Every structure is written in C-alpha cells, then in structure tokens.
Amino acid sequence: MTRHLALLFPVSALLLFASGLRAQDYKIAAGPISTPADLPAAYPSLLSPGVRIVAADGSPKVEVWFAKSIPAGAQPSDPAIVFGIEQGTFLGVIRFPSKGEDRRGQSINAGIYTLRYSNFPNDGAHQGVAPQRDFALLTPVANDPDPSAKPAFDALVQMSDKASNSPHPAVLSIEPSSAATFPSLTKEGDTPDWVLNVQVGSLKIGIILIGKYQG
C-alpha cells in the first residue's frame, strides 16, 4: 500500500499529508483578557485576568479566569488527593467560544461555566482515570449564581450534569504544576494533553484543558 501511494503522489505531497495527521498545537494568546461582559455581577471582582488558548492558526479554543484567591487547608490524609481544597470551592470561570469537550470527551456547548473543586469517588468505578482524584466540575454560570457557595458532592454533580447534558458531570483534571512560569501552557509528553499552569497564592495548579482520557 505504501509503495503504491509513493507512485501516485510526490514525496512532498506525502509529507504534507503526514503533517496533517499530527495533533493540533496550541498556545496562549498575547496579553491577559478581561472578564466576559455577560458574566453575572457576583463574579468579575473575584477573578484574575484571563488567559485565552488558541490553536496554531490563531483560532480561539478556550478562555479561563481563575479566582484571585482559593482557600486551601492541610494536606489531605488520602495520598491520591493533591490539594487541600474544600469540596465545592469556586476555582474560576471557563468559556468555550465554540463547542468544546471535557476530560471524558463529552461535548460541552459554547458558553460560560463555573469551575468548582471536587474529588472523583473512591468507589472502584473510576480506577486509573488519573494519578490523583482532584478534578474541576463545570456548571453553566446561569445555574450557579453564588460563587461563595460550596455545594456538596451530589449537589455539584447534579449542577454539572447541565454542562454535559448527560448523567455524568462535565469534568477537567487538575494536578500539581512544576512549571517555571505562570501562566504557561505545556504539552504532556507524547500525549494529546495540553495543560494550563497557573499560580493562585501558594497553589500551583495544572488544569488539563485539551485532551481526552485514553482508558
């Protein structure tokens, strides 16, 4: 098959074809971005300047505004939990200019969503989905009017179901970041995962914005 392709196409055309199969590259657009004009009034004063992630051709992929402050407590006793953040804590806001995906590959409609901290259940059903149990759950901002609230796990899952339009919440994996600069965007090895690295106070967080769990 390869020999016949080589006979039909010049080498240069084959190289272009192969390059088209490569994963898309992403970068942070120059300069911070202000909060969306249609964000509810309770949110803008709580947020740091935003970051816009764009594809190599400049087309927008996703925008994120982390909270200026994220309260964190003592290191949890469970070694699989990295951050001492209370269940349901508001982490920030994310916007998809066009349809996006969560960590599970679920389709997320264009729009603005809150990010809240949670841990996936230690019930065996989520074995191996990530080295750590720390996740951010997405909720349509219209369904999450109070940023100071800390919804319990079951309540937050029900809120997040409205983002995924499925029985499973919309989730993004978060992990400790060892980046040298913040904010920064890094690709995780040979995976298709792209991680936004941010620092909020003493917390250094990496959030996998692009890439689906391969399990």
Does residue 20 sit within a domain?
Answer: no
Instruction: Answer whether residue 16 shows pLDDT above 90.
Output: no
Number of domains in the chain: 1
pLDDT at 53: 98
pLDDT tens per residue across span 130-189: 678 999 999 999 999 999 999 999 999 999 999 999 889 999 999 999 999 999 999 998
Q: What is the pLDDT of residue 122?
A: 66
The pLDDT, as a whole number, for residue 126 is 42
Q: Domain of residue 79: give its range.
A: 25-210
11 falls within a domain: no
Return the C-alpha torsion angle 124, 152, 97, 204, nearest 10: -80
Range with lowest mean pLDDT among 120-124, 199-203, 209-213: 120-124
SS3 category, 69: coil
Please tell me what DSSP assigns to residue 7: H
In percent, the amount of the chain with pLDDT more than 70 equals 85
Q: With respect to residue 13, please indicate whether it lies within any of the assigned structural domains.
A: no
Is position 188 within any domain?
A: yes
The answer to whether residue 46 sits within a structural domain is: yes
Which residue from 104, 215, 87, 212 is spatially nearest to 159, judged by alpha carbons?
87
Q: What pLDDT does 64 receive? A: 98
- Mean of the pLDDT values across residues 29-58? 95
Is residue 126 included in any domain, yes or no?
yes
Residue 11 has pLDDT above 70, yes or no: no
Q: What mean pLDDT, rounded, does the chain reach?
A: 87
Calpha distance 73→86 (Å, rounded): 8
Evaluate whether residue 110 is within a structural domain.
yes
Angstrom CA distances, 26 to 82, 134, 147, 168, stand at 27, 24, 30, 28
In a domain, 5, yes or no: no
Question: Residue 108: phi, psi to the nearest 5?
Answer: -115, 125
The residue length of the chain stands at 215
